A and B are shown apart, each in its own frame.
Chain A
Amino acid sequence: MASIRFENVSKSYGDLRAVDRVSFEVPDNAFFCFFGPPLSGKSTILKLILGLETPDSGEIFFDDRPMRNVGPSDRNVAMVFQNLALFPHMSALDNVRFPLVERKIDEATIQARVAEVTEKLHMAHILHKPPAQLSGGERQRVAIARALVRDPVAYLMDDPISALDARLREETRVELRRMQQDMAKTLIYVTHDQEEAMSVSDQMLILEQGRVRQIGAPHDLYDAPNSAYVASMLGAPAMNMADASEAVQVLSHTPRMNRNAKTVGIRPENLKVARKDGPGRVTAIEPLGATTVLSVETAGITWKAALRGQPAHEIGAPVQLSVDAGSLHCFDARGNALPAA
């Protein structure tokens, strides 16, 4: 059991500042997710935690113990790779046993550890099968079980389910969350899928070019992003962003907004669309069943509105757009969030 803390950690590769004065704390037993676009520093942070890289400056602590001189093998953190790296010629059981057998642990202990882990992960029925005969989600479980039998202080996962198809990803992420709760272990997770990140994590850390932009519970980041960048990273379709002065002209009954607002953001599910003569024209309709995504064009801005259910709309028809005061996000010229009013 361990908390993991970064204090002002930087790491550069040549001119590239991969990780730039990063500080955060992963609480014990948390499901902690790093989220950001490619090259935002996610993978470098994982390497720093694993001990495969040393920080240029700053310090990493596991439970207040500095890790500067602790090598990767002595940190006792486990890693689950993107491609899982299961041994294809071994059964699921032998895969799980492997790390313990390698360390020459006595058979009784091995059996006890394996039984404990496999029971928690509900995988008794698949233990005799080789990886090739397992589904994507089952393989996932074998890889996690193999990481867990060593009783690591934390385990790290680098985009572990991105290779699965959409339906399986939805199921597997819930499964992952459940496993983490059953095992009661710190899980550090990297993904590029915002829905997955919000679904599984207790806390999210959003990165931009090696810097921490915001840390918090997923719904806090979603409801109260501290910047236009964080706001645009979460939610699908992404938040509508418009120049404040233009938005005022387009929205009917504009709520009072912060005078200093340069940009306003409105989440698609908060944008209201009325079938009345107005400045907007419907340009595309995506009926998803549960929701209907409308693209509405007003003087150069394309808005996305996610409407509940299956309201009737026509392409080319005029519409009026509006928003409630509580749903308006305001940002200053540098993209930092401002109080709404």
Chain B
Amino acid sequence: MTNVSAMAPAVEKIDAPATQSARLGLWLTLPAQLLVLFIALFPILMQVYISLTDWSPLDGIPWWKAHELWIGLLNYADLMADNRFWGALWRTMFVMAICVPVQFLLGLGLAVLFVDDFRGKRVLYSTLLVPMMVVPAVAGYMFFMLFQSGGPVNDLLSFFTSDPVRIAWLSDPDLALIAVMIADIWQWTPLMFLILLAGMISVPQDQQMAAILLGASWWRRFFTIVLPRMKSIIIIALAIRVIEIFKIFDTLFIMTGGGPGVATETISVYIYKVTQQELIWSYVAAIALAILIVLSVVSVFAIKRMQRGQKP
């Protein structure tokens, strides 16, 4: 391949030769593709299999013999009737419904500020990204300390009131969930900001200039040019955060352990407890599959929207 390969970097005008070599390529890569497919699908298939049995590691039989304990859809029926599961799912949805919009709006606001140049932008920019780099477990301990009844948060509030405030943040069922959400917003707004800023910078400058010259106000420009052109990236950002909220675990577990009671028990915490403490693995498999289906629907929806946004 000396002749053409020397110039290879710019074969743009000359596309891949013929379909027959494409077919050959498929055959050559088939083994590798099957392997990748297997690796991706195996855990899921295993989950499906186990979820249809009553298998637990305590039973003393290897997992591939789990069919001896076949119970059909019984796990799923139990799941439908499991109030603790529904509570955890509802709580997760609630956290998502509050945290994702707040993170989005804060991130968007920050992106608007940072898209223009100002003095000290770089320092502020780096500072803003710090929360994202903190290990979630460490963030959990930080907020665990902050929200102690004798902790800095209460001290700060005491400053504004005559009596010293001694709120038991993490042991009050309602407040604990709020504290957890504040921690999540603190840690993940920067990611939202980063993605949205990248999107905002990529909106062509001349389009905005054109809109200004046509007399459009800042708000009109923002809603008719900037936001529509950021549509794909906004969908990506929201999808990432929605999926991440389902996985919320370390920070929360360290702050409250899912308590008091089940007040902050989200899906991930619930699954952890069922697996580690109650060892009903087949039931866990059923829960995991149910969640996977929910998240797949979210992703497919997001991808569809995005493709529609990109079509001319």
| A residues apposed to B, CB below 8 Å | 43, 46-47, 50, 52-54, 72-79, 81-85, 87, 98-99, 102-103, 146-147, 150, 152, 158
B12: chain A residues within 8 A (beta carbon): 81, 83
B9: chain A residues within 8 A (beta carbon): 85, 87
Contact assessment for A79 and B2 in the assembled complex, using a CB-CB cutoff below 8 Å: no
Contact assessment for A102 and B1 in the assembled complex, using a CB-CB cutoff below 8 Å: no
Cα distance, A5 to B9, chains bound together (Å): 29
Q: Quick check: is B130 within 8 A (CB to CB) of the other chain? A: no
A103: chain B residues within 8 A (beta carbon): 2
A50: chain B residues within 8 A (beta carbon): 4, 14
Contact assessment for A73 and B18 in the assembled complex, using a CB-CB cutoff below 8 Å: no
Cα distance, A43 to B15, chains bound together (Å): 11
Contact assessment for B3 and A76 in the assembled complex, using a CB-CB cutoff below 8 Å: yes
Q: Quick check: is B120 within 8 A (CB to CB) of the other chain? A: no
Main DSSP-derived SS at the B contact region: loop
**Total A-B pairs in contact (CB under 8 Å)?**
58
**A88 to nearest B CB, angstroms?**
10
| B residues apposed to A, CB below 8 Å | 1-7, 9-10, 12-14, 17-18
Cα distance, A47 to B14, chains bound together (Å): 7
- Other than the given A43-B14, A73-B5, A79-B7, 12 more pairs (CB < 8 A) read A50-B14, A52-B17, A53-B18, A72-B1, A73-B4, A74-B3, A77-B3, A81-B12, A83-B12, A85-B9, A102-B2, A147-B7
What 10 pairs between A and B have smallest CB-CB spacing? A85-B10, A99-B6, A81-B10, A73-B1, A73-B3, A52-B17, A85-B9, A72-B4, A52-B14, A73-B2
A99: chain B residues within 8 A (beta carbon): 2, 6
Also in contact, A82 and B13, with CB within 8 A (given A73-B3, A75-B3, A99-B2): yes
Cα distance, A218 to B5, chains bound together (Å): 34
Contact assessment for A83 and B1 in the assembled complex, using a CB-CB cutoff below 8 Å: no
B16, closest chain A residue (CB): A52
Cα distance, A50 to B13, chains bound together (Å): 13
B17: chain A residues within 8 A (beta carbon): 47, 52-54
Also in contact, A83 and B2, with CB within 8 A (given A52-B17, A53-B18, A54-B18): no
Contact assessment for A150 and B14 in the assembled complex, using a CB-CB cutoff below 8 Å: no
Cα distance, A102 to B9, chains bound together (Å): 14
Cα distance, A85 to B6, chains bound together (Å): 10
Contact assessment for A81 and B7 in the assembled complex, using a CB-CB cutoff below 8 Å: yes
A77: chain B residues within 8 A (beta carbon): 3
Contact assessment for A83 and B4 in the assembled complex, using a CB-CB cutoff below 8 Å: no
Contact assessment for B7 and A102 in the assembled complex, using a CB-CB cutoff below 8 Å: no
A81: chain B residues within 8 A (beta carbon): 7, 10, 12-13
B14: chain A residues within 8 A (beta carbon): 43, 46-47, 50, 52
**A335 to nearest B CB, angstroms?**
31
B13: chain A residues within 8 A (beta carbon): 43, 81-82, 158
Write 28 A-B pairs (CB below 8 A) sorted by A numbering.
Answer: A46-B14, A52-B14, A53-B17, A53-B18, A72-B1, A72-B3, A72-B4, A73-B1, A73-B2, A73-B3, A74-B3, A76-B3, A77-B3, A78-B7, A81-B7, A81-B12, A81-B13, A82-B10, A84-B10, A85-B9, A87-B9, A102-B2, A102-B6, A103-B2, A146-B6, A146-B7, A150-B2, A152-B3
